[in-house]
Structure 1
Amino acid sequence: MIRLKKIATLVVLILISFACVQAQDVNALIAKVKFNIDKVNDYEATARMITNVSFLKVPDADVKVYFKKPNQLKIKNEKGISFVPKGAVSINLNNILSGGKYTAIDAGTDKIGNTTVRIVKLLPEDDNADVVLSTVYIDEAALVIRRAKTTTRTNGSYQLEMNYGKYSAFGLPDKIVFTFDTKDYKLPKGVTFDFDDGTQNNRSAADKAKSKNGKAEITFSSYVVNKGVAEDVFK
């Protein structure tokens, strides 16, 4: 009986040690990914933005994307207004990982296309933080985030899909697909768009938005990294 208790105790200790090693491994992986992202102090990027929202007619647009640490992000359309949800700051991966004030949980592996990714759930330590949960899918070979899902208290849920190319060493994607729930989006004050009236009785935008997903695709053609971005850009 005593021997069985010793064996059971040993098994528990092994399991606890294994869990600790996993946690350390996940935190080390995130630190490596963040190291690449932290190389970028600011950037100005040229991109093409395609927006797909069922109840709005939003033209494709050539845009400039500006970023400056720690979390300033601006998307400018020279010929009009780009439709970007309030939570679009989430497309800044630095914002998801900034501060390290979260508990990282290893959630196993998955595949995105032909790439095996490590799934890590990030739980904020601050109970009052707007972000409730972030789940990141990390390409361990390239040390980049291929997908990120974020749930917030005030801005709904968002998902990012990233494709990488020549700027992957900085953790900067060639393309971002940003998916969001349109029922959580409110048009900025004074902004109007053409509404699609192809449904019976021309239902309101609010009705059409229910349980619908919106999508914004941003394809980057070039980045200018760490050359400085003026504060006036973000006003």
Structure 2
Amino acid sequence: MKILGMIPAFPACLLVLFLLPAFASRAQDANALITKVKEKLAIVTDYQAEGVMKTDVSFMKVPESKVTIYYKKPDKFKIKKQDGISIVPKGGGNINLAALFEGNNYTAVPAGKGTVNGAAVTIIKLLPLDEKSDVVVSTLYIDEKDALVKKAIITTRENGTYEMEMQYGKYTSRGLPDTITFLFATKDYKLPKGLAFDYDAGEQKPKANTANGSQKGKIQISYTSYSINKGLSNDLFK
């Protein structure tokens, strides 16, 4: 007797209905976690910070320098070097995590679990709803307990993909890192928006030394102190 042949196939529509609640629950969890991250970042409306900037890019002649960093919500950002030169990064909003969440103009999609420097994190992708957005997708690696973004991988239309890694300490409760490291491909001299600092364009183009024909550049800012929510003037960013 062919019993198996007598068992009807499970209807596809019922399978979808069976799985739908699980997907909905995961989406709700993702949105709830993003809300916690936003609430922590929203505590800071502006800051002035002191720190040290190190640059490791073969075609950029930028020595290690003491810097003062200014930020004002939602996307004003400026770095002033110890020699008095001011650097206003292009698209500075991409440097500040809070700017990724402005206006709720995105969809949060759960993307599983992972680790950053050995610590467990939850991975969530932010998909912009604006078709004209330069950012295609932001992949966030979040410490659920402290509602902190430990790592972000941002893919853009015009400037490729770059990573930000954050290490926290004294200012964890404000969502402000002690150290932030930017990693990006130096192929074709293209720096991501927010990292278009001064560089010597006259140098020889760096030779590729990786399997996919690209090199990695790194810019690291180590913060030594923050002065938070003092009411910075807009004139500082001109």
Determine whether 1:64 maps to 2:72. Answer: no
Find the counterpart in structure 1 of residue 156 from structure 2: 152
CA contact (8 A) 2:164 2:182 kept: yes
* Cα offsets for 1:192-229 (capped at 9, x unmatched): 6497xxxxxxxx44454872221111011111110111
CA contact (8 A) 2:60 2:199 kept: no
Tell me how far apart the structure 2 counterparts of residues 131 and 140 of structure 1 sit (CA, whole Å): 24
Q: Cα offset for 1:144?
A: 0.3
Return 5+ residue gaps in structure 1 as ranges. Answer: 196-203
Select which of 210, 219, 224 maps to 2:222: 219
Find the counterpart in structure 1 of residue 42 from structure 2: 38
Which shows bigger deviation, 3-12 or 24-33? 3-12
Tell me the TM-score normalized by structure 1.
0.85
CA contact (8 A) 2:80 2:87 kept: no
Tell me how far apart the structure 2 counterparts of residues 84 and 109 of structure 1 sit (CA, whole Å): 35
Cα RMSD, aligned residues only: 2.9
CA contact (8 A) 2:76 2:92 kept: no
**Cα separation, partners in 2 of 1:214 and 1:159, compared to 1, 3 Å:** same
Find the counterpart in structure 2 of residue 230 from structure 1: 233
User: For 1:1-235, what aligned pairs fall within 5 Å after superposition?
Assistant: 4=8, 9-79=13-83, 81=85, 86-87=90-91, 89-182=93-186, 183-185=189-191, 193=200, 204-206=203-205, 208=207, 211-235=214-238
Q: Which amino acid aligns with 2:142?
A: I
* Cα offsets for 1:69-123 (capped at 9, x unmatched): 1110111103155788645542200112222211111110011122100111111
Tell me how far apart the structure 2 counterparts of residues 192 and 142 of structure 1 sit (CA, whole Å): 37
Identity of aligned pairs, percent? 46
Return 5+ residue gaps in structure 2 as ranges. Answer: none
Tell me the TM-score normalized by structure 2.
0.84
Tell me how far apart the structure 1 counterparts of residues 201 and 160 of structure 2 sit (CA, whole Å): 24
Aligned residues: 226
Tell me how far apart the structure 1 counterparts of residues 134 and 219 of structure 2 sit (CA, whole Å): 22
Secondary structure at 2:162's aligned position in 1? strand
Q: Cα offset for 1:188?
A: 7.4
Which shows bigger deviation, 56-65 or 87-96? 87-96
Q: Which amino acid aligns with 2:180?
A: I
CA contact (8 A) 2:61 2:199 kept: no
Tell me how far apart the structure 2 counterparts of residues 133 and 105 of structure 1 sit (CA, whole Å): 10
CA contact (8 A) 2:62 2:199 kept: no
Tell me how far apart the structure 1 counterparts of residues 126 and 201 of structure 2 sit (CA, whole Å): 39
Tell me how far apart the structure 1 counterparts of residues 225 and 44 of structure 2 sit (CA, whole Å): 15
Q: Cα offset for 1:6?
A: 7.4
Tell me how far apart the structure 1 counterparts of residues 109 and 94 of structure 2 sit (CA, whole Å): 20
CA contact (8 A) 1:179 1:215 kept: yes
Q: Which amino acid aligns with 2:220?
A: E
